[in-house]
């Protein structure tokens, strides 16, 4: 059965071997609490790299036994990121996680030509899974955080990442909506043209394992009544599993609308590297970080 709630990922992972998690610059309460919850849930073994004195102080202040972690002292953030990436690259970790360090330092370590986690020609992207109580299943969306204005090649990569994530959540044949502002193929709107090309690539088997349609406006993709009113007949309309956004602005606004206005729970990760990389905001909740760890673990 497909996973329809983020909490269900934890149940699924408990029946599998624990994944090895390496957290870079794990000097903040939210990161340590989320990793502790992942360890307690039986889904991860954890290595915390950062300022050991700060880590121990946070553990003491929050009643956490530091003995459940392996702690590596590296007070300098860039050093912690490099050490964490090196451990994952060497096979000592299955999942990389960002702690309190800034996203640019974290990404720089991942993208390092000599020491990073990228294969030649790989495309790095961001996948988010959203649980909205007003929708009948999870929504897997991208890219909301990494690629500003994806071209057709990058959109193809994003689409495949969305499909792979959906399959890791046991969605056998995910339905993918390629979003634009209109359902018409309007030559002056590149988002519409790219969406039509991706849909045709799906029809011809160039992109496998999913039902793909586009261009579709957001209302048509997630609301059957809107599709019926507009006369759009599609196996995806009103029942999309995955949403591919035309650019980072539209994706990011959607993400923040879901989390800040609707209070939706999410899990998110960076994909395309040799291992999944948890990239939560420094201000994200403990639960968001826990679900992000679980999502990354599901994809290993």
Check whether residue 140 and residue 19 sit in a common domain.
no
- For residue 2, is it within any domain? no
Clarify whether residues 155 and 233 are in a common domain: yes
- How far apart CA 30 and CA 99 sit, in angstroms, is 9
Pair (25, 98) in one structural domain: yes
- 88: domain CATH number? 3.40.50.10950
Describe the strand order of the beta sheet including 277-278 as a list of residue ranges: 69-73, 44-50, 19-24, 95-98, 277-278, 265-271, 125-131, 139-142, 242-244, 175-179, 211-216
Does residue 152 share a domain with residue 66?
A: no
Is 137 inside a domain boundary?
Answer: yes
Q: Is residue 74 part of a domain?
A: yes
The reply to whether 31 and 57 lie within a common domain is: yes
175-214 residue pLDDT tens: 999 999 999 999 999 999 999 999 999 999 999 999 999 9
Shared domain for 112 and 137, answered yes or no, is: no
The per-residue pLDDT for range 101-158, each reduced to its tens digit, is 998 999 999 999 889 999 989 999 999 999 999 999 999 999 999 999 999 999 999 9
Same domain (yes/no): 84, 50: yes
Residues 135 and 117 in one domain: no
Q: How far is residue 154's CA from residue 143's CA, in Å, rounded to a whole number?
A: 10
Q: Does residue 267 sit within a domain? A: no
Token representation of residue 145: 């955080």
Number of compact structural domains in the chain = 2
- In this prediction, residue 285 carries a pLDDT of 84
Residue whose pair of structure tokens reads 């496998």 in the numeric block: 208
101 belongs to a structural domain? yes
In a domain, 245, yes or no: yes
Q: Is residue 153 in some structural domain?
A: yes
Helix (H) or strand (E) holding 179: strand 175-179
Domain, as residue range, for 53? 7-121+273-299
**129 and 254 housed in the same domain:** yes
* Domain at 148, CATH number: 3.40.718.10
pLDDT confidence bin for 241, thresholds 50/70/90: very high
């Amino acid at each position: 059965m497909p996973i329809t709630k983020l909490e269900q990922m934890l149940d699924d992972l408990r029946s599998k071997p624990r994944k090895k998690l390496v957290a870079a610059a794990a000097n903040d309460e939210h990161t340590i609490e989320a990793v502790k919850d992942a360890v307690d849930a039986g889904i991860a073994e954890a290595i915390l790299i950062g300022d050991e004195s700060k880590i121990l102080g946070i553990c003491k202040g929050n009643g956490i036994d530091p003995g459940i972690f392996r702690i590596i002292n590296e007070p300098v953030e860039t050093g912690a990121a490099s050490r964490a990436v090196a451990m994952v690259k060497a096979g000592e970790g299955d999942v990389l996680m960002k702690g309190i360090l800034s996203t640019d330092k974290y990404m720089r370590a991942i993208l390092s030509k000599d020491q990073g986690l990228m294969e030649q020609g790989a495309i790095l992207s961001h996948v988010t899974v959203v649980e909205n109580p007003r929708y009948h299943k999870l929504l897997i969306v991208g890219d909301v955080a990494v690629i500003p204005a994806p071209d057709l090649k990058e959109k193809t990569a994003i689409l495949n990442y969305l499909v792979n994530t959906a399959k890791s959540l046991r969605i056998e044949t995910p339905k993918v909506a390629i979003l634009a502002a209109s359902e018409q193929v309007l030559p002056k709107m590149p988002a519409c043209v790219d969406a039509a090309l991706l849909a045709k690539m799906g029809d011809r088997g160039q992109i496998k394992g999913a039902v793909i349609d586009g261009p579709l406006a957001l209302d048509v993709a997630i609301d059957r009544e809107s599709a019926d009113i507009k006369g759009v007949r599609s196996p995806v309309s009103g029942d999309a599993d995955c949403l591919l956004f035309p650019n980072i602005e539209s994706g990011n606004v959607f993400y923040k609308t879901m989390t800040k206005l609707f209070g939706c729970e999410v899990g998110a990760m960076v994909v395309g590297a040799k291992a999944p990389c948890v990239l939560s905001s420094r201000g994200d909740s403990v639960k968001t970080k826990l679900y992000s760890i679980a999502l990354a673990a599901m994809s290993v």
